[in-house]
């Protein structure tokens, strides 16, 4: 059952990337927020789990990080290898990572945790490959947001093929704290505000997008949460 479900998710992403390409995702400037939150530095070894076409990795490469990505979608991997050739991109299952223990300074998973069939296994793998003093950044959906409530609970638009799920803030806290993580900070993801500011000059809009993680709106109203995490002591 799980294998069939996993394959359906992979097939959905292959089709979506083939049809929509980069237009399916946020624009590249949106990912700068994550580099700032993580305080990436030259020489950091970075792993992007479910990396998609490599938008975050491309920015991390500009900071001179040593970048690795993995995705289960063949289309995503092909796009990532073209978009960020400096990165090492693997085709594989995020719930069984092909890396040694204690390999990475930074592990990110941006908008994909709610897609995993076996979330606990995926988190355990990310902890395994991360160094003890590593930093984690996860973007996850808020099931209590107005948008999620309207789309999923009222209009019934849930994407079953892509296995789209969400949890409340307290539920996500419990997931991370009960699976070996310390919660350092939580930010409201306010990237959707870019539509409001889209008519602004680029230099103003970019400044806004780099600062919105400081909390323009209350956390409870955020469509998604950005968790900055660390690894619990053994």
Global pTM? 0.86
216 has pLDDT over 80: no
Question: Which pLDDT belongs to residue 158?
Answer: 59
Q: What is the per-residue pLDDT across 168-181, written as a single tens digit (0 to 9) for each? A: 899 999 999 999 99
Q: What is the mean pLDDT of residues 169-197?
A: 86
191 has pLDDT over 90: no
CA distance between the termini of the chain: 34
Q: So where are the chain's domains?
A: 2-231
43 has pLDDT over 80: yes
Question: Which pLDDT belongs to residue 217?
Answer: 58
Q: What is the mean pLDDT of residues 187-202?
A: 67
Q: What is the mean pLDDT of residues 202-211?
A: 60
Q: Please, which residues bridge with residue 187 across strands? A: 226
162 has pLDDT over 50: no
Domain 2-231 sits in CATH 3.40.30.10: no
Question: Which pLDDT belongs to residue 112?
Answer: 92
Q: What is the mean pLDDT of residues 103-120?
A: 94
Look at strands 45-49 and 66-71 and give their pairing: parallel
Question: Which pLDDT belongs to residue 144?
Answer: 77
3 has pLDDT over 90: no
Q: DSSP letters along the chain, please?
A: -HHHHHHHHHHHHHHHHHHHGGGGS--GGGGHHHHHHHT--TT-EEEEET-TTSHHHHHHHHTT-EEEEEES-HHHHHHHHHH-TTSEEEES-TTS--S-TT-EEEEEEES-GGG-SSHHHHHHHHHHHEEEEEEEEEEEEBTTSHHHIIIIIIS----TTTT---B-HHHHHHHHHTTTEEEEEEEEE-GGGGGTTTTS-HHHHHHHHHHGGGTSS-GGG-SEEEEEEEEPP-
- Comparing 69-73, 89-93, 150-154, the range with the smallest average pLDDT is 150-154
Rounded distance, CA 211 to CA 192, Å? 13
Q: What is the mean pLDDT of residues 28-50?
A: 94
Q: Which residue has the higher pLDDT, 79 or 30?
A: 79
Q: How far is CA 77 from the centre of its chain?
A: 16
Q: What is the per-residue pLDDT across 138-148, written as a single tens digit (0 to 9) for each? A: 999 888 776 66
Enumerate residues 6+ apart whose C-beta is below 8 A from 15: none
Sign of the Cα pseudo-torsion (16, 120, 92, 227, in order)? positive
Question: Which pLDDT belongs to residue 1?
Answer: 40
Enumerate residues 6+ apart whose C-beta is below 8 A from 162: 9, 12, 13, 16, 115
């Amino acid at each position: 059952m799980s294998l069939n479900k996993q394959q359906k998710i992979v097939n959905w992403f292959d089709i979506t990337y083939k049809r929509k390409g980069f237009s399916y995702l946020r624009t590249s400037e949106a990912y700068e927020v994550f580099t700032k939150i993580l305080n990436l530095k030259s020489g950091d070894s970075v792993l992007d789990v479910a990396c998609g076409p490599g938008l975050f990795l491309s920015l991390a490469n500009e900071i001179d990080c040593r970048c690795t990505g993995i995705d289960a979608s063949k289309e995503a991997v092909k796009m990532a290898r073209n978009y960020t050739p400096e990165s090492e991109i693997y085709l594989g299952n995020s719930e069984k990572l092909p890396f040694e223990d204690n390999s990475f300074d930074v592990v990110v998973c941006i908008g994909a945790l709610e897609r995993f069939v076996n979330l606990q296994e995926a988190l355990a793998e990310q902890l395994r490959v991360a160094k003890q003093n590593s930093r984690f950044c996860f973007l996850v959906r808020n099931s209590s947001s107005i948008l999620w409530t309207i789309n999923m609970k009222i209009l019934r638009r849930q994407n079953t093929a892509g296995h789209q799920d969400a949890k409340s803030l307290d539920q996500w806290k419990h997931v991370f704290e009960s699976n070996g993580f310390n919660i350092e900070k939580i930010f409201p993801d306010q990237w959707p505000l870019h539509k409001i500011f889209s008519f602004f000059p680029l230099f103003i809009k970019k400044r806004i997008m780099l600062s919105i993680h400081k909390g323009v709106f209350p956390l409870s109203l955020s469509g998604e949460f950005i968790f900055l995490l660390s690894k619990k002591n053994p």
